[in-house]
Structure 1
């Protein structure tokens, strides 16, 4: 500045210069239009026609890999409906894409990551510890189930009409030897006896019953205390002999509470539920790495619950397959700390 904005006096040299860093995004950019000259050849040996390829030129359609990847991430990671994706593309790039085209772009993205989807399934089948849960989702207005199979580094989704054991057989096969952490849904126990039942479900249900019936208050308090003692005792990863002692004491403590007489029918039913899963409450004690709750699988399903509210229903089997593959891959990339937009763009260029 040359002069004081208040009195007009000459300012001279500054006595201090501050530095201020500002981050800004560019103005909305116009789209880039590229013409590719695709050379065709006739092989002199096998006489087949061969067309030249370039990684930046999609095999089908007029939209490039960046457009396909961004539209897919906007829909499945940012959970925007097709109309909002159309608006975003127009606002940012003056690019017009119809809702039907957006669906087809996600199909192309799903096809590009099919090998990744298959690789994740193979890892899930070999997992020593697997967290599994399911929740309802509608396909063409009919109730189906989206299943989540997750580990600390991979997550796999399928959507099926069944909530039964045949889905476990299809996804995991008979050769699965790992431990499943799950809720008390019966198909899990039919599929394997290597199970850890979810203590979060147990304590929520015991709290709910204790709030309704005074008779259940000591039971809820005992279960909560037992869980807290066990999780604290396992914090420092004790040796196998200590774990075995804890396992025996925990079983004895639980058996004491479920052997008591209860007069209220709902409390007795709850006791029956605990007793039916008795062999599965303490797997986490003697198997290091097994978590006592199924929170991992529940967290994996939360984005689908949000999408379910936005979409209402998946339209057809094609949309279901796209949903499975993209959500599986995005979730797994997220667990590994990878940039989903960059990863998807790279897969489309392969």
Structure 2
């Protein structure tokens, strides 16, 4: 009897352990060391507040500033609506400024009478040009610009763009034509895109990150390179070091800020490993192991104290001393004995990157985390959720060129519409 109960309990334990592992595996998709802090997994509970609504006392108020009105409408009345007697002059006049959108407009149809000449001296053909006359097709540069921004900045699917154009301008265009528009815009951006690649190649530093993307059902990788003034995106089959070599060149002299992916230390020794990844992983282990919690607390305290030292922006010689001391203190933290296999593995990971944790201390122009690189990828992550997959490699070229140019212009504080329109007119 006892033997049968024992066997049943043993079978039940095995089943529960198996189920527990499956649940932990599913949980890792939502809670792991590589999940960025910006990703909100669960809805935030609303905090109840007993205070009054509105701005707090002492907070300076602000009023929206309007430009000069385009038109002025006077509202007067001659007779009283109640007794129908004459009203005379108003007691007072109040000014109310209303800002509104213009009504939807029809498209502008322009006929270009284009002159073609043959030079009587050299015999060469001369073709007249105009800024608003596109190289090909029957839709103007404003239409191409608007469609491209709706797709790659506003994240609208082709069907939604089709509906918006018809609603706003009465312009009926098939989704296939909209795709063709973005292809033509991509071709015009080739020169600008190559210039951005060159600027990234000669940059002093680059925040680099990558994420997966399906192209025709196959796994590709979106690479992002963010410098002080450029945001470069590439879509490649490879997640290897060959991408770094092609973009940055074999002799890149700048600093790469990155996560722990193994291709980076193989490419260069001039790295800054991401502290955000390190601390997230320590938190992840700390929630599961008591030893991990103690180590996580020490790492957080160490990182916080280090940044407080750097807040005063010390000179270069002091920074070198701070770096040496930080390396020494981190080694002391890692030298302690831990029994947990998971904690020991994590410590070895930190030790393997020991030369790359404190590059930011002596190079104040870079950050200790790769949050900038992750933010650069965020647009692609959102687009990936919307479209699911790109149909072919032609689509990858359109995406990387337009996302690169728009991202770079936004980073530089430029007007994306005017910049894109300028490229189409060139």
TM-score, normalization by structure 1: 0.96
Q: Give how far 1:42 is off.
A: 2.5
Query: Which one of the candidate residues 366, 373, 381 is aligned to 1:290?
Result: 366
Matched, 1:303 2:379: yes
Which aligned pairs between 1:158-197 and structure 2 lie closer than 5 A?
158-197=234-273
Measured in 2, the distance between the counterparts of 1:235 and 1:61 equals: 56
Q: Give how far 1:10 is off.
A: 5.7
Which sits farther off after the overlay, 68-77 or 317-326?
A: 317-326
Q: Which runs of 5+ in 1 are unaligned?
A: none
Query: Which one of the candidate residues 123, 134, 148 is aligned to 2:199?
Result: 123
Which sits farther off after the overlay, 36-45 or 265-274?
A: 36-45
Q: Give how far 1:48 is off.
A: 3.9
Query: Which one of the candidate residues 75, 83, 86 is aligned to 2:162?
Result: 86
Q: Give how far 1:4 is off.
A: 5.3
Instruction: Indicate the residue corresponding to 1:206 in structure 2.
Output: 282
- Displacement over 4 Å in runs of 4+: 2-12
Q: Give how far 1:237 is off.
A: 1.5
Structure of greater relative contact order (alpha carbons < 8 Å, 6+ residues apart): 1
Q: Give how far 1:32 is off.
A: 1.1
Q: Pairwise CA RMSD of aligned residues? A: 1.5
Instruction: Indicate the residue corresponding to 1:16 in structure 2.
Output: 92
Q: Give how far 1:17 is off.
A: 1.7
Instruction: Indicate the residue corresponding to 2:300 in structure 1.
Output: 224
Post-superposition Cα deviations, 1:272-305, rounded to whole Å, max 9, x if no partner, equal: 1111111100111111212100011100110100
Measured in 2, the distance between the counterparts of 1:233 and 1:132 equals: 27
Q: Give how far 1:152 is off.
A: 2.8
Instruction: Indicate the residue corresponding to 1:242 in structure 2.
Output: 318
Q: 1:41 to 1:8 in 2, by over 3 A?
A: closer
Post-superposition Cα deviations, 1:32-55, rounded to whole Å, max 9, x if no partner, equal: 111112222234455443322212
Query: Which one of the candidate residues 137, 146, 152 is aligned to 1:70?
Result: 146
Instruction: Indicate the residue corresponding to 1:328 in structure 2.
Output: 404
Which sits farther off after the overlay, 34-43 or 133-142?
A: 34-43
Which sits farther off after the overlay, 246-255 or 82-91?
A: 246-255
Post-superposition Cα deviations, 1:230-277, rounded to whole Å, max 9, x if no partner, equal: 112112210122111211111111101211221111111111111111
Which aligned pairs between 1:22-33 and structure 2 lie closer than 5 A?
22-33=98-109
Instruction: Indicate the residue corresponding to 1:134 in structure 2.
Output: 210
Measured in 1, the distance between the counterparts of 2:219 and 2:282 equals: 29
Instruction: Indicate the residue corresponding to 2:225 in structure 1.
Output: 149
Q: Which runs of 5+ in 2 are unaligned?
A: 1-76
**Residue aligned with 1:212, SS:** coil
Q: Give how far 1:12 is off.
A: 4.2
- Count of residue pairs brought into register by the alignment: 350
Which sits farther off after the overlay, 108-117 or 118-127?
A: 108-117
Measured in 2, the distance between the counterparts of 1:249 and 1:221 equals: 19
Q: Give how far 1:14 is off.
A: 2.7
Matched, 1:53 2:134: no
Which aligned pairs between 1:91-106 and structure 2 lie closer than 5 A?
91-106=167-182
Largest Rg, 1 or 2: 2
Q: Give how far 1:3 is off.
A: 5.1
**Residue aligned with 1:220, SS:** helix
Query: Which one of the candidate residues 323, 329, 333 is aligned to 1:257?
Result: 333
Q: 1:214 to 1:4 in 2, by over 3 A?
A: farther
Measured in 1, the distance between the counterparts of 2:122 and 2:176 equals: 39
Query: Which one of the candidate residues 347, 350, 354 is aligned to 1:271?
Result: 347
Query: Which one of the candidate residues 107, 113, 128 is aligned to 2:189?
Result: 113
**Residue aligned with 1:21, SS:** coil
Which sits farther off after the overlay, 322-331 or 16-25?
A: 16-25
Measured in 1, the distance between the counterparts of 2:86 and 2:293 equals: 80
TM-score, normalization by structure 2: 0.79
